[in-house]
Each structure stands twice: as C-alpha cells, then as structure tokens.
C-alpha cells in the first residue's frame, strides 16, 4: 500500500460508521474532528451514507483527493448495515489509493468513557435476545480491553458482570434496550451514549495512523462474531426474484 505524504502527521482521515441503526461520517486529523454528520433514524444506511460523505466533505471544504486515510467501523453490529459502511469504505480506499484502519464498534463506544474509574462495558444489540459486548478499563494513555468481544444472551452478560464484582459502566444501544435486566441483575451505571460514532473513530484512527498501523483495503475484515444463519427461504427468494436457480442467474 502506498502511503505517501498524505499519511504523515497532518493526515486527513475520513471515518465511516454504520454498525448500528445510526449512520455516522466524520472527517478529522491532528486538529481533531473537523466535520461530523450523524443520523440515527430515517432512511436506510445505503441511501444515506454516500450523500452524507459528500455533505461532510463539502461543509468541511475538503475534497476526497486530500484524504490520506479511510477509517471504518468493522463491527460487531447489525450485519447488513455494517456491510454498507464496509463496502463503501473499502471502495473509497481502493479508488483513492489510500490505506485504511478498521476499528471495533465496541472500542468506539468505550472511547468517550476513557477517563471513567469504572470497568467500561459497551453493549450492542445483536437481536434474538443476544448482545455483543466487551470490557475495558482505564490505563495511562487510554483504555485497555480486559475481556474480548463476544456475543451471548443478556443473562450471560449479567453473569459476566457479577463475576467481575467491580464498579461497572455499561454503554451502548444494547445496554439501553436491556437496561432493566442489567440493572436488576447487577447494579451498574448506564451511560447516555447509545451509538458508536465516527467522531471517536477518526480520533482513534489518527492515533493509530501516527504509529503507521494501517492496512490495505483488501485486508479490512468485518467482525461478525456469529456464524451465518444458513437457512434458505425459498419463498423470500422467489419473491426477491433471485435464486440458486437451475442455472442460477
């Protein structure tokens, strides 16, 4: 991957985040976040994302060819939405010939609480009664992951919190959805932050870019944490007008 002068200290970073119901786009660099667009309801991700990128660039008076790096939320999150951001980000990285940095949605949720004394537990709704979560605690210079990302029923999260017997700060749309169960099972604080955001994405990516921890667009991989549902829905398929088809096509 060529990482020319655009990836120095003054690198401009485009951040794309679509792992939950929010679409979030930011541009930033060593001056911090220069532009941010966020919408948590309304039209679907694919309709919103590209116009949002155009908008942020225009408002921040930045053209795409000034970018030195594309950062993207690699999940975990809702698969279809996540892939919209990943597909667009990888295509931009490829077309602009710039390196990329992928960051976990759970890291992004934890980041705003990096100065908390509590164990920070970002929780993302995984549907089907399950949540994605990980645990972090404050260390000099940032946050350290103390429990790796996983997916499981809410009861398992509560059991994990109990086992830790430390003060806990839960954050994220999953924590909000299962607020009652989490608080009943284990007394903890629930933060207001609901969605991972492209703001922290750009900030975290900038720190990593200074350490040259980037990869090529082809090496950006989603974090699913869950095997694909392998059911074939013939009815949906026929209606959708696709299919394995005899000679598929």
Partner 1 sequence: MNVDVDGDTLILGIETSCDETAAALVMGGSDIVSTVVSSQVELHASFGGVVPEIASRAHLELLNPVIARAMVEAGVRDDRIDAVACTIGPGLVGALLVGVSAAKALALAWDVPFVGVNHLEAHLYAAMLEDPSVELPVVVLLASGGHTLLVEMREPGRYRLLGQTIDDAAGEAFDKVARFLGLGYPGGPAVEQVAHEGDPAAIAFPRAMRNEGLDVSFSGLKTAVLNHVRDHPDVDTADVAASFQAAVVDVLVVKARRAAAEVDAKGLALGGGVAANSALREAVLDACMADGLRAYLPSRSMCTDNAAMIAAAGWHRLRLDGPSPLDTGAYPNLRLTSTEPT
User: Where along the sequence are the contacts to partner 1 (CB under 8 A)?
Assistant: 43-51, 53-54, 64, 79-80, 83-92, 94-96, 217-218, 221-222, 224, 228-234, 237-249
Smallest separation (angstroms) from Zn ion to the CB of 240: 12
State the minimum distance, in angstroms, from the CB of residue 177 to Zn ion: 39
CB of 241 to Zn ion, least distance (A): 9
Query: In the chain, helix, strand, coil percent, each to 5?
Result: 40, 25, 35
Strand 69-73 and strand 130-139: pairing? unpaired
We find the least distance from the C-beta atom of residue 74 to partner 1, in angstroms, to be 11
Spatial CB neighbours of 20, under 8 Å, sequence gap ≥ 6: 77, 78, 81, 105, 124, 125, 173, 195, 196
The answer to whether residue 249 forms part of the interface with Zn ion (CB under 5 A) is yes
Token pair for 167: 């003060």
**Of 155, 23, 159, 186, residue with least CA distance to 89:** 23
- The phi, psi pair for 79, rounded to 5°, reads -55, -50
Distance CA 107, CA 201 (A): 9
Residue nearest to Zn ion (CB): 249
| Closest to partner 1 by CB, 119 or 125 | 125
Residue closer to Zn ion (CB basis): 59 or 236: 236
Which of partner 1, Zn ion, none binds 54 (CB below 5-8 Å, type-dependent)? partner 1
Q: Which is nearer to partner 1, 207 or 221 (CB)?
A: 221
Q: Which is nearer to partner 1, 83 or 176 (CB)?
A: 83
Give the nearest distance from C-beta 44 to Zn ion in angstroms. Answer: 24
- Maximum alpha-carbon separation in the chain: 60
Residue 237 binding result from Zn ion, partner 1, none, given CB thresholds of 5 to 8 Å by partner type:
partner 1
Residue 151, number of CB atoms within 10 A of its CB: 17
Interacting residue ranges for Zn ion, rule: CB under 5 A:
249
């Amino acid at each position: 991957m060529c990482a020319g002068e655009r990836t120095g200290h003054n690198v401009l970073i485009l951040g794309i985040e679509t792992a939950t119901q929010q679409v979030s786009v930011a541009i930033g660099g060593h001056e911090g976040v220069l532009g941010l667009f966020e919408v948590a309801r309304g039209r679907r991700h694919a309709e919103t994302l590209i116009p949002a990128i155009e908008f942020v660039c225009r408002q921040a008076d930045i053209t795409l060819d000034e970018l030195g790096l594309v950062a993207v939320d690699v999940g975990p999150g809702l698969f279809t939405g996540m892939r919209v951001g990943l597909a667009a980000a990888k295509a931009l990285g490829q077309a602009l010939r710039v390196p990329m940095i992928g960051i976990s949605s759970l890291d992004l949720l934890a980041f705003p609480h990096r100065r908390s004394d509590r164990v920070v537990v970002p929780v993302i709704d995984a549907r089907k009664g399950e949540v994605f979560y990980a645990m972090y605690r404050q260390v000099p210079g940032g946050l350290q992951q103390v429990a790796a990302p996983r997916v499981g029923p809410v009861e398992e999260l509560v059991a994990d919190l109990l086992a830790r017997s430390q003060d806990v700060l839960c954050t994220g749309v999953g924590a909000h959805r299962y607020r009652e169960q989490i608080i009943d099972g284990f007394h903890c604080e629930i933060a207001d932050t609901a969605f991972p955001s492209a703001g922290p994405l750009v900030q975290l990516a900038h720190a990593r870019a200074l350490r040259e921890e980037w990869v090529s667009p082809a090496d950006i991989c989603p974090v699913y944490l869950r095997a694909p549902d392998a059911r074939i829905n013939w009815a949906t398929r026929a209606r959708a007008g696709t299919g394995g088809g005899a000679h598929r096509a």
